């Protein structure tokens, strides 16, 4: 197998029904992987999977709620039983909140962190036993520029969750390395998606002069999922057009 190919590998993409997640599922398929679109919106996930199948790609869809330990464990087990392996996990599922600090409730804080941070841990924890059986294990977590700089347009709960994802990535990388599993993160800046469509004209301060696309993010995820990055772990790729350089 060519070093950049993902033939025979099985990938789970949480929140893969649309946007960045769908772009990730598609590019992994393009390089030979089977992509399982795991999304709480099962109907949309199924439609997206069927469209990829029509193009000749190998995909399927499951209804997965990353805030539910039961949903995670049941679906991960079903995916393994169906395909006999799990090689790649892309923790993409998440929600955005821009509530200001004075108005932020405990319930809103907990709800977002259950999905955007705890869900990353629970999904990663669930796949580890199966990845240990594989000859390849890749976990890629989607963080955010807000987790690095503090999101002045995102709520403090979102910034805290995405900052937590970066720390979690490093901790998981140290633990999983002995099993030959790499764990890395991608940290997008201003990316044009359905969730950020209202900000489509905001390119001020971006040296490359444009907003990013879902495909820009997916390209970095593919690199981390492939053997091209086999000696990289605990690392974060910034996809922000030069807005944040460190």
Helix (H/G/I), strand (E/B), else coil: 182: strand
Q: Of 158, 172, 222, 243, which one is the catalytic site residue?
A: 158
CB-count exposure of residue 75 (10 Å: 0-12, 13-18, 19+): buried
Give the Cα separation of 217 and 122 in Å (integer).
23
If you write DSSP's letter for every residue of 31-78 in order, what string do you get? TT-EEEEEES-HHHHHHHHHHHHHTT--EEEEE--TT-HHHHHHHHHH
Per the annotation, the verdict on 158 as an active-site residue is yes
Q: How far does Cα 69 stand from its chain's mean position?
A: 18
**Tokens encoding 161:** 């969750």
Tell me which residues are annotated as active site.
158
């Amino acid at each position: 197998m060519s070093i950049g190919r993902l033939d025979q590998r099985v990938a789970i993409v949480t929140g893969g029904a649309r946007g960045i997640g769908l772009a990730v599922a598609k590019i992994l398929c393009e390089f030979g992987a089977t992509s399982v679109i795991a999304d709480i919106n099962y109907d949309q996930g199924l439609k997206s999977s069927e469209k990829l199948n029509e193009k000749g790609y190998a995909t399927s869809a499951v209804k997965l709620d990353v805030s539910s330990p039961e949903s995670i464990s049941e679906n991960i087990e079903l995916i393994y039983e169906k395909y006999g392996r799990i090689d790649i996990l892309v923790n993409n599922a998440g929600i955005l909140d821009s509530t200001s600090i004075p108005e932020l409730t405990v319930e809103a804080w907990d709800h977002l962190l259950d999905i955007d941070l705890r869900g990353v841990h629970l999904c990663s924890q669930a796949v580890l036993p199966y990845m240990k059986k594989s000859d390849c294990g890749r976990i890629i977590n989607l963080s955010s520029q807000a987790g690095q700089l503090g999101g002045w347009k995102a709520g403090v709960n979102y910034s805290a969750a995405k900052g937590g994802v970066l720390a979690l990535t490093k901790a998981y990388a140290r633990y999983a390395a002995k099993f030959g599993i790499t764990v890395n993160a991608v940290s997008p800046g201003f990316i044009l998606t359905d969730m950020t469509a209202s900000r489509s004209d905001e390119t001020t301060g971006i040296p490359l002069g444009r907003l990013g696309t879902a495909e820009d993010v997916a390209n970095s995820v593919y690199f981390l999922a492939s053997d091209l990055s086999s000696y990289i772990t605990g690392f974060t790729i910034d996809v922000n057009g030069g807005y944040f350089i460190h």
